[in-house]
Amino acid sequence: MDELPDHDLVDALREENDSLRIRVGQLEAAANEYRRQMTEVLTSVSWRATSPLRGVAGKGRLMRRRAKALPHRLARRSDRQGSTPTTGLFPPVAPNGRHLVTAESPLLRLPFRSAAEDRLRPDPRPAGPRILVVAHVYYPEVWPDIEDRLARLPEAYDLIVTLVKGRAESLEHEINRRIPHARIHHVENYGRDLGPLIELAGMGLFEGYDAILKVHTKRSPHRLDGDAWRITLLDGVLPSPMGVDRILDLFRRDRDVGIVAPSGHIRGAETWGSDRELVEALAARFPFAFDPDALQYPAGSMYWARPWVFQRLADLQLTVEHFEPEADHLDGSTAHALERFVGVLATASGLDIVETDDVPSRLHRARRGKQTQPRVLAFYLPQFHRSPENDAWWGEGFTDWDNVAKAQPLYEGHRQPVEPGELGRYDLSDPDVLRSQAALAREYGVDGFVMHHYWFDGKPLLDTPLRNLLADPSIDFPFALCWANENWTRTWDGLENDVLIAQTYRPGWEDAYYDDILPALRDPRYIRVDGVPLLVVYRIGHVPRGGEVIEHWKRRAAADGLGGLHVLAVTPSRDFEGFSRDVGSALDGLVRFPPGSGIGIQSVAGLAPGLVGGTTGDVMSYDGAIDGADLSVVGPHGLRVHPGVMPGWDNTPRRGEAAYVFHGGNPVSFRRWAARAAEAAVAGPGEPLLFVNAWNEWAEGAQLEPDLRFGRANLEALRDLHVGRLRR
């Protein structure tokens, strides 16, 4: 057939476009008439009169579904026998021959140190819309289905449109004309709608929103109902201005909601197909564990999401090489695996996937519930500066950074050495370092530092950061002290019995210690609990006449006009002693200090590939520690217990082959633990506190500070828990 002249082709396309717009208008009119009729039905006397019967019938259907699923749930629970799944902690074994994941698969090459190097951290987004729409366009002819429904958004929104090069670029002018504030990104055709989403995540474009709507021009040509499915999904996520408003309100009120998907489109383990092994490989890139039988994800890939979920996709560090060339795959591609992985990621973060039909009831509970937040206090290590004692004991110029730098991996996939991120290998003798740390902590919702205080019968050690802080009121950040009252030994050399400086208690020591910390207690920045200064004692059972000493300190603090002291002790652990009832009577509460006690212990050393033969420590599951964590708020002698969490633990830098490694420490699992602990903190009596071990324990793999692998993700996990008050 002869080709039409250009102007004739344009006219033909315009006629076809006009015809399609007329058809869309007819469909919209039909939908509006349907909604009008439904409104009449829902407001009729007969509908209201039969409401109780429908409620009973609905509960009956729910009970039948639960009964049908019960045998499967019980079988899964029996199979696990109380242990945490380990799927995803290590990459899947690559079999020989044709398979989804082969030994050459780039998915098995785990990222270690490059995230912060390549990830763009844009300037803070100016105040503006609190919601973002991300729309991917491969089929430009159905873009109007998305554009027309954007009118249902009840408030201002930002819009990012990814146009596939060679397919949808022609839409740019039309989109810019009709939606001037839209941001257009041209993308290669890879990973379908998920590849470009990961690209945007890596650009840091999801920061600062309350919720993000993900839509795309889905046609599903392999399905007879492909177009109808697209319309159903779009109407599911954009039902009406009132319906969208409820979804947004839910995200803003309920910190446990991660995804809101169209009703009837959440799928489970029955749809793994050929994708499970690929999802295992994706999870191992963090790594975190997940239960394959508990899979839930939004089929069709259109849904609302908490920004946290999409931000974490950048941590996968996927590029074009990780995606197959587009070939109309129906299953078993990286894009299909990512569709499921989004649900796995949300669940591993402690977030729920909610259907739109359940939004009203969930929102009702959220509106009735409390929104109290615990104060988040992070233990702070003052080790990172030179001291005469360290020079004498370990060599000239020694700091803990020396231990961090010399660490070596003990097995394949062991992330050592860990490299610090944007703050670098700082020197805490410089007050500006503490100033930068304080600003970063405040930005992400950390309410104060609890500084480890080393004092040995009148001799302070490593106190330069504290002295700098007390001397500079311009470092405006709350702080408290934790007396680290135990012997200083050569633990770092593996010689625990070689005591460098002993913790002794000569007559009068209690007054000497109080006198030493009094300037800090009087500082206006010092943290107060129930109106009085907070003091944490690491090993209260080690203190002679502990109860009497605490009461003495409280009397002195009251006499000095401080109102008293709020004294907390670290809970007894496997490594040190408990305490007597008289001590319990004097204390105001306890602090959990993981991994010392109160966590699950699940060894995965047998799964660690290539574990060094001389290893005398252990490799344990970080997810197992979380799932076995004790979140009770009442402890010995009826004392209030404040929960504690750790972003990870790996003391390889200090102990080498005798290290204890909690494999799988990552921001995703850490968010889940912090969410559970925050809920426990709020449920307990008195002022809720949540302790984090630690802000900067780099040589023990327990740091909130940015590292080179995950950047600020651990801090983002804490900030994401704050409902309705992001502190910047």
In this structure, what is the dihedral angle of CA atoms 699, 700, 706, 712, given to the nearest 10 degrees?
170
CA distance 469 to 524: 12
In a domain, 1, yes or no: no
414/348 same-domain check:
no
Nearest to 691 by CA among 541, 590, 577: 590
In a domain, 119, yes or no: no
Task: Answer with the one of 368, 384, 406 that is the final residue of a domain.
Answer: 368
CA distance 184 to 161: 5
What is the residue-averaged pLDDT of the chain? 88
In a domain, 186, yes or no: yes
The percentage of the chain sitting over the pLDDT mark of 70, rounded to a whole number, equals: 85
352/380 same-domain check:
no
Q: How far is CA 173 from CA 12, 168, 179, 183, 184, in A?
A: 19, 11, 10, 12, 10
CA distance 486 to 577: 12
Q: What's residue 55's pLDDT?
A: 47
Q: What's residue 405's pLDDT?
A: 96
316/444 same-domain check:
no
451/318 same-domain check:
no
249-266 pLDDT per residue, tens: 999 999 999 999 999 999
- Which residues lie across from 184 on neighbouring strands? 161
Q: What's residue 125's pLDDT?
A: 61
The DSSP code for 527 is: -
CA distance 208 to 490: 46
Can you give the CATH number for the domain in which 422 is found?
Answer: 3.20.20
Q: What's residue 543's pLDDT?
A: 94
Is 154 exposed, middle or buried, given 0-12, 13-18 or 19+ CB atoms closer than 10 A? middle
310/452 same-domain check:
no
Pick the most confident of 48-57, 304-313, 567-576.
304-313
259/403 same-domain check:
no
173-227 pLDDT per residue, tens: 999 999 999 999 999 999 999 999 999 999 999 999 999 999 999 987 777 777 8
Contacts of 399 (CB under 8 A, 6+ apart): 383, 384, 385, 386, 390, 427
- Is residue 132 within 8 Å of residue 215, measured between CB atoms? no
| pLDDT tier at 105, thresholds 50, 70, 90 | confident
Task: Give SS3 for 365.
Answer: helix
383/347 same-domain check:
no
336/385 same-domain check:
no
In a domain, 34, yes or no: no
Residue 117 predicted with pLDDT over 50: no
- Is residue 708 within 8 Å of residue 115, measured between CB atoms? yes
418-474 pLDDT per residue, tens: 999 999 999 999 999 999 999 999 999 999 999 999 999 899 999 999 999 999 999
| pLDDT tier at 292, thresholds 50, 70, 90 | very high
Contacts of 667 (CB under 8 A, 6+ apart): 312, 315, 647, 710, 713, 714, 716, 717
The one-letter amino acid code at 517 reads: I
Whether the bond between 292 and the residue before it is cis, its omega within 30 degrees of 0, is: no
Alpha helices in 119-220 (DSSP H): 143-149, 171-178, 194-202
Please state the pTM of the whole predicted model. Answer: 0.87
615/658 same-domain check:
yes
Alpha helices in 107-240 (DSSP H): 115-118, 143-149, 171-178, 194-202, 226-237
Which H, E and C letters describe 704-721, residue by residue? Answer: CCCECCCECHHHHHHHHC
181/318 same-domain check:
yes
In a domain, 602, yes or no: yes
Nearest to 285 by CA among 643, 624, 710, 623: 710
Q: What's residue 93's pLDDT?
A: 84
Tokens of 87: 């799927």
In a domain, 484, yes or no: yes
Whether the bond between 595 and the residue before it is cis, its omega within 30 degrees of 0, is: yes
In a domain, 625, yes or no: yes
Q: Which domain holds residue 178?
A: 131-368
CA distance 188 to 326: 11
In a domain, 125, yes or no: no
136-185 pLDDT per residue, tens: 999 999 999 999 999 999 999 999 999 999 999 999 999 999 999 999 99
Task: Answer with the one of 315, 343, 368 that is the final residue of a domain.
Answer: 368
CA distance 191 to 338: 9
Q: What's residue 23's pLDDT?
A: 64
CA distance 195 to 182: 20
360/393 same-domain check:
no
468/334 same-domain check:
no
Whether the bond between 417 and the residue before it is cis, its omega within 30 degrees of 0, is: yes
Nearest to 569 by CA among 635, 517, 501: 635
Residue 495 predicted with pLDDT over 50: no
- Domain count along the chain: 2
- Is residue 645 within 8 Å of residue 670, measured between CB atoms? yes
12-66 pLDDT per residue, tens: 667 767 766 776 666 666 556 555 555 555 556 664 566 556 445 544 544 544 4
- Is the C-alpha dihedral spanning 46, 48, 52, 55 positive or negative? positive
Q: What's residue 155's pLDDT?
A: 97
592-641 pLDDT per residue, tens: 999 998 999 999 999 999 999 888 999 999 999 999 999 999 999 999 99
Task: Answer with the one of 334, 353, 368 that is the final residue of a domain.
Answer: 368
Q: What's residue 73's pLDDT?
A: 43
Can you give the CATH number for the domain in which 148 is found?
Answer: 3.90.550
Q: What's residue 226's pLDDT?
A: 72
